[in-house]
Structure 1
Amino acid sequence: MLFRLLGPIEVLGDDGSAVALPGTRARAILAMLLVSRPDVVSPSQLFTTGRSAKDPVNALHVQIAKLRAALPEPRLVSERGGYRLLTRASEVDADVFADACEKGRELARQGDPAAAVTVLREALAGWRQPAGYDFAEVWRVRLEELRLAALDTVLDAELTLGRHRELVPELAGLVAEHPLRERFAELLMLALHCGGRRPEALTVFGDLRRRLADELGTDPGPRTSALHLEILRDEPEAPLTPGGNLPHPVGALFGREPDLEAAGRLLGERRLVTLTGPGGVGKTRTARELGHRLRGRFRDGIWLVELASVARDGSVLDAVAATLLDGEPAAPARDRLVAHLREREVLLMLDNCEHVVDDAAEAAELLLGRCPRLTVLATSREPLNIEGERPVPLAPLALPDAIRLFRDRAPGVRDGDAAVGRLCARLDALPLVLELAAAGTRLFSVGEIESRLDDLANASRRAPARHHSVRALLDWSHALLSEAERRVFAGLSVFRDGCTFADAERVCGATADVLAALVDKSLVVAGPDGRFRLLETVRGYAASTMDTSACHNRHADVRIAFAREVYAGLSSPRQQELLACFLAELPNVREVTTWLLRRGDGPRALLLQGLLGYLWYVCGREAEGARWLGRAIACFDADPRPGHDGPLAVALAWHSYLGRVSGVLPDPWAPADRVRTLYRTTADRDGVRIALPAIAAVAVHLRPGAESLACLEEAEEVMAEFEHPWLRAILDAVWSEQHRRDGDLAAAVAAAEANLRYFEGIDDRFGVVFSHLRLGDAEEHAGHRSRARDRWARARDVARAGHAPVKRGYAELRLAYLDLGDDPSAAVTVLERIRAEAAELAAADLGAAAANLLGLAHVRCRDETAAVTCFLEAVASERALPVRTAVAAGHLTALAGPRWRPPVEQAVERIPDPLHRAALGVLLRNLTGLDDLGRALSSGPVCTPLAALV
């Protein structure tokens, strides 16, 4: 039986049908007996469940008799002192609910939020408000509190799993329903802040504070107040950390329990476990199931990096960085990842390592060696063969499990287990092959599929024996395709990580019917993102079925057309949309560029990468962009062809610019100098004139004086020849920098204002941030500190909204620089945060600048020991601008002695920028032992120390 106390009182029989209960009085008696279990309930207590009667004892006996007669089993017994209702385990829905809540909370305490969510959500789905009997008020309140505690636990677990945005409506409803329950307001603040809605999170706290003050005369508790402070500082702690990117497994997994147990046990003992086995054995599916089961074990989440889309000559570290650090600045992947993972407790899943096994091994060895809390789970056809690795080989399924999988994937099959078992054995019980065969049952019987295997088993003799049945089944599936389906199937192999329908149509001549047929036959996977993909095993086979060079060629044309669209629309309100499109197509951009380079097509490689130059900059991948541009230029130089001076000039200009800002080029002026030569010698003015503003931007920093002015004049010459508002705005920004170095601050401000007006007009967030920073610098240089503060604050806010953490850090450093003289103790707190963020982002120059300013704050607080520590950190930063080293070594000279003067002089020799030199001179004039060097450097433009410090 089942007794229901949640909602109206009900009793269900063993068959699930409702038991007919007597009237209201009898139901109230049953409710009291259920609530009071296992205690005996006295007649005097039961008298209170109804109206008074002339003969209450007899009336009670009548109701008890009716209840006994109604219940299918003799459960209501008389005992000394009253009556007792006998129940078994799980027979009362309120008990089931309470047990599930306790189980869910225990799972959460054990660190398994995913399992806790499953248990608690199922329990809460069955919740109904208990009947409102006066005698049950205490029980009802206790049960309601249990429900609210379960909601607290499940919502906290789901936030841990990264479901921030989805939970906002539910949490907002709970806050409205329970306005004084502080915990729900705290969880809503977390969900809003992690979902990118920081102002609304702060509003929730303000509303809570007012309600508590008005109704209770109190303030929010310390935990909620601490969270409020963290959000104000934009410093989320571990609860704000997303739970990773691991998708929930789809479909049942058969026959892998022993493997899951073994791998799970090893991951508790070792930091590198590799699932190995032949293609199609189910390594990826098993790894995802294992990750799902281990979600609660890793505080900072489980991150899946799919290496199938990485080219054989690609970079595993870049792929990991793109997954974990998407949108962050493109410092070298090695440094960024180590900084990001050094203190994090993460399970990193490297899936499909076999085609990049050496690179994957190097990446895993590096990260595991430098990040002590990191654990790696890899999948590969062969082990990575590095120290500490524990391989877990996956064998084909046992025959009973193979039959279960086949029947699950082909539910309409009526053949007996003997026939299905023979087929599964012929297919080596490989899950991938079984799923492909199951798809074939829509057209053929199991016997027909088996009979065709011998005819279609034309596997390569050179392939390992375990691959023969995979090849045989793919051959068989391919033989069943129409000519149009075969053509599209082969053509889809040119895409890396899938494509949209529009691209499949343009490149392969695909139609909706043909793609649907290929999806239906399990040869193509249709993703929820609208993209069509080939499994990597299938992709390699598809490429071997026919010559795909024509498709590769059309794919290159499609990517170049896409790059033209991006180039035309990136400096517009479509910037965010195009940026998302580019990130989705990035594997295809790499694939096409690699194909063009391999066939020596330098002209089209130049064109593609040159058009994408600004995009590499906007999306924070300057280092990768510089590398691709360098390879495209080298390819063209190996076989130069006339008529391509324009694309060559654009590619050289972006190579120079991105190489300078990323630090990957030892001599970023060399490609810039080639552009200037082209400008003087080529007849292709259209192409070269686009490149000159970028060359001027590089020249201002690397070739100050007459050469930078000459570059600016050349850029102005081409600006007079054609109308290009975006390039005009870029050139205005470069002029602002040049005017500051010339000491013409009014012109610097005017040029920066023109630059800002344009970027605001087209809603270019990145341009707005850079413009506000530049304009603030000019205002501060001119002595207008309040105006500079306003500009930098605006840059900080836009950078935060536009997810530009490094630019936000530079804006906050400038604001801290203004505040340094007023309250150095407060500046210490801010600067320590920025320095920590810079380490997370592996932003070396930002970190060195923050360390220098923090050192100055400590000097003003008379804490010389802390100051020396900060300056030593800045000196040790290898990738920061040389002026940061000079500032740090200069202050170490004043604090620790003259042995630090030689590093100052060496750094000064590496500073070409006159503004940096002059700003450094202002600082050094006031330092003991360096006043002479400071006076010599101050012969440049009159300025403040800002350019040297920030």
Structure 2
Amino acid sequence: MAAGEQGWSFDVLGPLRVTRDGEPVELGAPQARAVLAVLVLHAGRVISAERLIDEVWGASPPPSARVQLQGLISQLRRSLRTDAREAFIATGAGGYELRAPVGTRDVDRFEEHVAAARDLISAGDVVEGAARLRTALATWRGRPLDGIEVPAARQAAEHLSELRLGALEDVVAAELELGEHGSLVGELAALVEENPLRERFRGQRMIALARSGRVPEALDAYREWHSLLVDELGVEPSAEVRAIHAGVLRAEPGLRPEAVNSVIDPAKPRQLPPDRSGFIGRRQLLGELTDEFVRPRDTPPVVVVTGAAGSGKTALSVRLAHSVGDSYPDGHLFAQLRGTSADPVSPKAVLARFLRALRVPIDMIPADLDECAALFRDMLSGRRVLLVLDDAADEAQVRLLIPAEAMCAVVITSRQRLSGLEWGRSVKIGALTDTESTALLAEVVGGERVAADPEAARTLADYCGGLPLALRIVGAQLVDRPHWTLLDMVDRMAAERGRLDWLAAGDIAVRASFALSYERLGATHQTLFRRLGLLPVPTFASWVAAALVDTDEATGERLLADLVATNLVEPVGRASGGPRYRLHDLLRVFAAETVEREPEAERTTVVERAVGAWLYLAEQAAARLPGSVLQPAPGHATRWARGLGEADRLVADAIGWFDAELPGLDSVIAVAAGQGLAEHAWELAVVCGVYFDHQAVYPQWRQCYLRALPAARGAAADRGVASLLRGLGQIDIYEDRFADAVAALEESKEISERIGDRHGVARAILGLGTIHRVQGRMAEVLGCGDEAIPVLDELGDLHGGVQARIGRSGVYLSEGRIDEARDVLDDAMQMCAKLGDQHRTANVHLAYGEMRLRENNATGAMKHFRTALRMLESLGDQRCTAQVRLRIGRAHVALGHDAEATSVLADASAQFATLGNGTREAECALLLGQIAARTRTV
């Protein structure tokens, strides 16, 4: 809009009015005003022509209604134009829209003033808050949209009138708090007359009358209200109004003319629990918070210490309070709020307790919560008092307990984040470090016992997950058993099942502490938390949560966010696809115990769904990686994709996705196998084999396959057994374990033949051919090719076909049959063109380079090798880039480039050492030795 729009105002808090620079704008006929009223009420949103017709003409519009509406809109557009000749009313295919700039509607200005006023009052600035409310109410000119009787206007008028009454109630409450009761008596009488069923006005009038010394009139006002409700409506006044009536009868504080503080002599309470000796850890944090509590501030310092059960929140808070206590000489107040119990302490009960500690007589403590909070703030005015509020349930439990006085300070502990609290700083504490954990254990059991077996002490610290509560309980158990060594306790806690049994001493127990947090969760959150105990993975993504409770990923993310807020789940950064989470080790043990209450069949279904999600995403990720001779064909395991949203987003970075899931893959496979889901176990392992092969992560590859193999054998899943054996054989080839590789591949071939899997047979033969080639049995290599290539070609396995031809070219080259090698490599390159696969193409270039070396054309070989290296480096393939560097080293040697050869061979040797390929590492060493010998001779 142009600059001239700032002088416009669209007003509905009274008769509809549009002004420009204070002058009214002619709006035309009543029907035009009705159309504009609907558009103003819904400013910023498109209103369809059909709805406008319904609003203006009702259920029976004239046939020309649409034409008439267009005419009315045109008339309004002409009347409502900016200096830039732009109309405020936009038209389009979807309908009509009033594009009123921010701040030009009186209802927006009213609501903005009201919201700001309520924030000010909540923050303790009642004077400014009351003034803002009066400013808001001054925007009203009468009944909203008076004279416009379309349905939308009538509904809006009712809603807006309710907002005005709420603001009136709030301003009266604020001005009563400011002691302006005398000036409010007349206004409240009028408000009660205008709104006879508005109970809050009734109660406020009673308060104003009582504070003005007109107690009989206040009692008469209650009797009038009681009679109206009971006699005519058959209900009693609310508890709040009955409490005001009782307070007037008893002349309670706030309901009589005297000043409360004139009859109270404040005390200096000292309620802090004793500080715990041997406080361990958190030193830096404690120092930061101490500085914050002792320096001058404009607002009271408020710190919320959050963390999981047993993390030491109370110990830190009490230590902090004792550390800064001298800076708050007028009192130290402490309240155990029991927020994690089934019966949290109410704010009213805490306020009453604090007021009694400040020597307010019981009969002068208000019954009304807000008045009680106001009296508490009044009592702390001008004083330096420290409050410690331990174990808060939520923001509502502590909000009214926070003083307005800047010289006061508050420490709150909670298992919740309390992110909705308007003041202060939130500090989350986690587990102690290994060193701190061992030191805490030594503090409890004695340094000599820890020094006698430091390794056992570290193991116990690990079993306790760095939780101070768990460490102190273990220490107490050892103190009660002086004849035990730390290793005795390690032996008893070694098994996760039953570990929590040892983390109990007297009336404290880790399990019970966890249970309090768990029991406060809603049913769905409880289900998710306990089912996380089914999957002993180090970290997990939100889609795992979705699978566990059979929902969509967004809901899973929200559920996890709630568990993070309660400190039952920890965020641990991001990886491919989004945030990652973890369970503390002991919480995972607790979840695993709790989930055992679910029927076994249900647990199996949950695991099947979760592993099905892993399998589905692993397939999507593997499809984005370069092709592999290990590329699996789908099996019969059920996939779960319903709640995964856009899988493309989750696995866009395929390597990153596998990297994030790698630490837990073997556990997921083991869980599937343990639940009898053998098909899921072997399929997931085999699908991940594409990644393992590409990234050359052999130990994890072997571990996952060996997790799945017994399950596949036990379930007679022959196809899975054969696939797993082929993968294990490939790993053995990479690691020069050729006897083991032959055994695995021969068994895979035999099983594939038995079940009629020709493709599996050809793949196994391909692997055996590789072993023959490495061991110099060239005739057998050709025989394997003769047997495998026709099948691979028939089945359309271009990856396998290329690989087989590369192997055959190596045989031809070893026998000096250059032309035949060239022919077979040309065939392979044509197949690569069909595949569009850089990885296979790079391998063919590698073979071409070998052929050029055989032709004594090292320069030509180098071109092919460098092309292959560029391709493979772009794919991040460490194993194949090492192979290429070895060939480049050979080419440099042939060209007499000793320095270049030495550099590239050293790099290749380091890669082979990392990959565990001793044969190739030895080749590098041999070539480096030849270069060194030649250099010395020269």
- Pick the structure with greater CA Rg: 2
Question: Scaled by the length of structure 1, what TM-score is found?
Answer: 0.42
Question: Scaled by the length of structure 2, what TM-score is found?
Answer: 0.42
